[in-house]
Amino acid sequence: LPGRLLIHALQNLGLDEDCRRILADHGVDLDAVAEIEADPALGNGGLGRLAACLLDSVANLGLPAYGYGIRYDCGLFAQQIENGWQVERPDLWLGHGNPWEIPRPELVYPVRFGGRVIDQGTPARPGHAWIDGDEVVATAYDMPVLGYESRRLNTLRLWSPRAAHELDLHSFNNGDHAGAFSRKNAIESLSQVLYPGDAAQTGRELRFKQEYFFVSASVQDILRRFLRRRRSLDRLPDDIVIQINDTHPSLAIIEFMRLLLDRHHLDWQHAWHLTRRSFAYTNHTLMPEALETWPVRLFESLLPRHLQIIYEVNDRFLRNVACRRAEDPALIRRMSLVDEEGERHIRMAHLAIVGSRKVNGVSKVHTSLMCRTTFADFAALYPGKIVNVTNGITFRRWLHEANPELVALIRSRIGDRWFSHPDELAALAPHADDPAFRAAFRAVKHRNKLRLIDLIARECGVAVDAGSLFDVHIKRIHEYKRQLLKLLHVVALYDRLRHDASLPGASRVVVFAGKAAPGYAMAKLIVKLIHDVARHIDGDPAVAGRLQVAFIPDYSVSKAQVIIPAADLSEQISTAGHEASGTGNMKLALNGALTIGTLDGANIEIREAVGEENFFAFGATIDEVAELRAGGYDPRRYCPDGTELKGVLDLIASGHFSPAAPDLFKPIVEGLTGGDPYLVLADFAPYLQCQERVEADYRDVEEWTRRAILNVSGLAGFSSDHAVRRYAELVWNAGPRVGETASADRAEPHAAAAAE
């Protein structure tokens, strides 16, 4: 999710002000031009945006790097709302082409599926050949990744599939015109949609093929560029490192092994030594349902050679484990790359850990949990292998571009050296005590709110008041991110106000945005409930001017750049222990929002950085969550008759917000009272108490502004530049090479580029 690139590129080149002035001289508004650009739909949620931030920082620091992915025809999906329900439409971001991409027709690689493996070796030198099956051709498209002040030009290389043979001419000539193109269409479906639905077997198989398609092309490209310099393969780990962003690319480890074994004819020990030293793995989740596994049968039918290599890796690994801990047979089952319970699956996270030089978590608490819980066996086996690199965000996008007025205000006080040295933003802290600076800060926030008000009016048809507290919950819709907890608070406020409109407190605008996965029924029902509650509140004169709810559809980087600078309150309320890090928490705090949050993920480090008094913490801690679950958590004890929570749940269950379908939201209430896996009800009372502190503190305008400024300055250490420096030091052993470009292979002859 790199976001629109025009303004970003102009700022990095130092041309934005000149361009804006020159266009204005000709009656053209640069911002209106920028609005024409489509958001590149290349990722999903925070993980896709994090990848873009890291690529930006790698270029800014002068490190030579490529990013790799698939050139999707359609992104995740375009979210539309019809009668409150999410409806998915194709996100046709390439409908008018992509002016930033450079087609590389000379860079093509074969990618094989299916077929069979034959033994071509001898007892002294084993060898295998993977033959037959279907072959797909991966073609490269390059997008520039420009460092700040043009320090370096790196490349995001995207792969597009095409059939080796465009059509079956025999079938076409025999009248089967549709069938003649069926194979071509099936192959090109690899890049049609990001994350196809996996409820059906065909969708799951397509995801599996997408993952292998892009890692195979990428690994072939990496080895081609390395060998072009005519260096010994022994130099591989010294010259390159391949960072796996979660488990989706972890097949790259086995593809790397396959090429070293079958194409370059290395022996096993040599190939595995080079592979393990060439890869590094970032883990982004410990949730069991999100730890990727693939059925063995998919490998058997689509990647038979890779399954052989996985079995060999696993056999050698488990023999090593058994030598160290022979007295613990259960350990073998826990650590195996193959899950033998039920249908056999390959555990991709285990593969990534075993096949990497370093493994990192993305916040201090997440890394600690990796070592203490899910991957404790691996942490004991490989002391020091699991390290922490807390996520970061690029200030160049999330402050310079998203909030230019605030940037101008900050520059007026501390200069602009922090543009390239983000740690120096901390120098802003003393200005929080200056009344004139606070007044100017509030004026910027007010104008940013007016921009968001325009967006809400266009997208939601709702008029909101800029004097309200802007309370923002913008995330992928998921039960652990607890949009429901925020919504229960909204219903509680509504119920209080409709019974007593004279209650003290600030008027509040609650802004939601985010997409629910197409197959996630509960998440989509939550979206519907948000809309029905919003519509009901908007039509009730008893709460007019005091409480409003807006759900901004089709959340994107561009919309985030409008929402985030306007926020007063940042909702980071995941169940403790479930959010590995978060980056929305950083973006909102960097733009002057105070955070209300659980002690989860990077929230803990943000709270330490900005000061506990400038962060609204609430709810069960990670250890308390574990204790509640271990003790047989019963959510019903938190909502006995007569309590506010029981009243809120009854309002929802009774059909108050859905009179035409009174039972519509009963599944939500039944899920909360029957099991409540994310402890929404346990945290409801502490959350409401914390929100009452928010309301009281917001009424002190000067103090709130002071704390907001301290949040901006306190985020100095959360730049993705800082995260990339830690990767370079802890994981990559890499240093900057300012002045080079990572695009040198554009100058080589086409034949040489395609020789691999």
Task: Tell me which of 4, 481, 528, 607 is the catalytic residue.
Answer: 481
Strands 116-119 and 615-617: unpaired
In terms of phi and psi (left: phi > 0; alpha: psi -120 to 50; beta: otherwise), the region of 231 is beta
Considering the candidates 587, 607, 706, 707, report the single residue annotated as catalytic.
Answer: 587
How many other C-beta atoms can be found within 10 angstroms of the C-beta atom of residue 324?
10
Quick check: is 209 catalytic? no
Give the list of residues 6+ apart from residue 455 with CB closer than 8 angstroms, or none.
Answer: 552, 559, 562, 563
Spot the catalytic one: 157, 258, 284, 357.
Answer: 284
Scanning the structure block, which residue is given the tokens 């695009």? 743
Active-site residue, 528 included: no
Closest CA to 254 of 237, 232, 229, 271: 271
DSSP 17-81: HHHHHHHHHTT--HHHHHHHSPPP----HHHHHHHHHHHHHHHHTT---EEEEE--SB-S-EEEE
Catalytic residue among 390, 583, 595, 598: 583
User: Catalytic one among 209, 476, 482, 546?
Assistant: 476
Annotated catalytic residue 476? yes
Is the CB of residue 61 less than 8 Å from the CB of residue 736?
yes
Examine the residue annotation and report whether 481 is marked as an active-site residue of this protein. yes
**β-strands 469-474, 569-572 pairing:** parallel
The residue annotated as part of the active site, out of 209, 400, 473, 475, is: 475
d(CA 379, CA 695): 44
Instruction: Tell me which H or E stretch contains 225.
Output: helix 201-228
Helix (H, G, I), strand (E, B) or coil at 153: strand
Alpha helices in 395-482 (DSSP H): 395, 404-414, 435-460
3-state secondary structure of 571: strand
Does residue 496 carry a catalytic annotation?
no
Q: Are 715 and 589 in contact (CB under 8 A)?
A: yes
- Torsions phi, psi for 262 (to 5 deg): -95, -30
Residue 333 annotated among the catalytic residues of the structure: no
End-to-end distance of the chain based on CA atoms, in angstroms? 30
Evaluate whether 52 touches 392 at the Cβ level (below 8 Å): no
Q: Is 301 helix (H, G, I), strand (E, B) or coil?
A: helix
With tokens 């309320």, the residue in question is 573
Residues catalogued as catalytic: 284, 475-476, 481, 583, 587
